[in-house]
Chain A
Amino acid sequence: MDDKFSPIPARVLPEAFSDLEPFSQWALATESERIAARDSSTLEELQVFYEVMMARIPAIIGYVDKFPFDRLPDDARNLFNLALSAVEASIAVELYHQPQVINGFDRARFRPVE
């Protein structure tokens, strides 16, 4: 596993989404982590993740919304966090065509309050 992401145990996703296991390092719970992951990935990595996720987001919503949203099982929560990360990845793939914001602000001085 790439050491720039926090280690996540294997099989973090629901069985029906085992095809997304190779991307489980994107199951990031906070916006700060998702931003950091985008910033530190290559455009190629972001592109692969984004394209796989674009095809799976409708099914992910369908699955996750079978549970009460404030009491998601861990694997459904991880799955949903992948979808949130795909939105973050789309910034690089769709808008800037590079991982980082073009002419972006100093990350240390732009802080999500979490």
Chain B
Amino acid sequence: MTIEADNKRWSAKYPELGTGPVSAEPCISPEYFELEREHIFRRSWLNVGNVCEVPELGDYIVRDIEVVSASILIMRGRDGVVRGFHNVCSHRGNTMAWDASGNCRGYLTCNFHSWGYDSLGQLRVVPDEDNFHNFDKSQHGLTPVATEVWNGFIFVNLDSKPHQTLGDYLEGVTGNLTGGDFDKLTLVRSYKIDEKANWKIGLDAQNEVYHLPFQHKYIMPDVFAANSAGYTRVKDVTLFKRHSVYSCDMNHEHKPSPMETLIGQIDPGRTRCRLPTKSEFDFYVLFPNFVIIIFRGISNDSCVTYNFWPLAVDHTIWEIRFYSPPATDAAERLINEFGQTRTRLVFEEDAVAHETVHTGLKSRAKRHLIFQDEEIQLRHFHKVVEEHVAQAKGD
């Protein structure tokens, strides 16, 4: 499929973003990273998982968010509500849950002195309670963390009093991603990639399709729609206050490999999951570090999410998750295996480049990043980061 589109159409749509070079310093500066830690990660709504990970009453997951030095316990209470707490015992601060996931049957008990909390986070058991001074255990539940759920995705905000609800924070995106079978999604595959790169370098690299025919020449030289010269052209870019989405169609005339042809001949079965899409590939960046990619499937739509978790200015965990309806037969499972393993290769090649870009920028040989028109969403992202940090400096 050939898309003919005017050059430089996105800078015409969003002239306020300008066209000049963008400083590379925020990608390598330890001082800048400390500002991001305080003024972005401690104040933004952060995705930490999906309700499909805590399906039953009492189910919990633990998410360590190192950039804000927090361990968060996400638990579905006996009343069915998903809540977030600091994973810290009220007694002397011990880490409560040590497993990545589990179920609070009765009480969740601290290893240190066996203080026990129920699935609502209330302190219920204190051994030798009468020997404490002026002690009212009803006042010493787990410390709650602002937690909200949208389309099944669980978000927390480490600010003790968030300035905005999640709905307000996600302004624009919620209007696009409304309706659809998000409740049919389950976590079917995930990867964790330990990268020696700044978190924004990884996110930037994912946030455009310009690079696909080049960096991924073995896997997808021609998979995405392009112009007659072979350069990818997106169908739409929409920039919100903080977030963004670009949308692309696939090139249906691309040359399939024999395995792809064989997989394409398998009956994919009945449709069970449709998601709101603007194209065959919608790539949402939910500021600061969360990405939702919606894939239009022949039978079922699915999504992939990224969480870029910074550990340091030059160290990031890139967490990748595939959500789809669970495969009900071998045909569907094999179709998924093909698509997901080919996508995994893209991630592998990308992860290498995230590190080589970081290495290059760290040398300060180049002080700026140069963005073309199809990379305007990166320009927007860097501007949003800069605004958050600048606003914080003015506080």
Question: With the chains together, A79 CA to B337 CA distance in Å?
Answer: 15
Q: Mark A35-69, 1 if CB is under 8 A from B, else 0.
A: 00000000000000000001001101100110001
Q: Are B341 and A105 in contact (CB under 8 A)?
A: no
A4-12, A20-28, A89-97 - interface stretch: A89-97
Q: Given A57-B262, A65-B330, A69-B327 in contact, is the A94-B193 Cβ separation under 8 Å?
A: no
Q: Are A87 and B341 in contact (CB under 8 A)?
A: yes
**29 A-B residue pairings within 8 Å (CB atoms):** A54-B258, A54-B262, A58-B262, A58-B266, A61-B331, A64-B330, A69-B330, A83-B330, A84-B334, A86-B259, A87-B259, A87-B338, A90-B258, A94-B257, A94-B258, A95-B218, A95-B219, A96-B218, A101-B345, A101-B348, A105-B352, A109-B193, A109-B194, A109-B195, A110-B194, A110-B347, A110-B351, A113-B190, A113-B192
Q: Are A91 and B341 in contact (CB under 8 A)?
A: yes
Question: With the chains together, A103 CA to B345 CA distance in Å?
Answer: 10
B153 lies within 8 A of chain A by Cβ: no
Q: Are A90 and B259 in contact (CB under 8 A)?
A: yes
**What band does the interface of chain B fall in when counting residues whose beta carbon is under 8 Å from A?**
20 to 34
Using CB atoms, name the residue of chain B closest to A50. B259
Question: With the chains together, A109 CA to B345 CA distance in Å?
Answer: 14
B328 lies within 8 A of chain A by Cβ: yes
Chain B residues with CB under 8 Å of A94's CB are 257-259
Chain B residues with CB under 8 Å of A111's CB are 191-194
Question: With the chains together, A103 CA to B347 CA distance in Å?
Answer: 12
Q: Are B334 and A110 in contact (CB under 8 A)?
A: no
Chain A residues with CB under 8 Å of B195's CB are 109
B189 lies within 8 A of chain A by Cβ: yes
Tally chain A residues at the interface, Cβ within 8 Å. Answer: 30
Q: Are A54 and B259 in contact (CB under 8 A)?
A: yes
A102 lies within 8 A of chain B by Cβ: yes
Q: Given A54-B262, A84-B337, A112-B190 in contact, is the A90-B257 Cβ separation under 8 Å?
A: yes
Q: Are B331 and A87 in contact (CB under 8 A)?
A: no
Chain A residues with CB under 8 Å of B163's CB are none
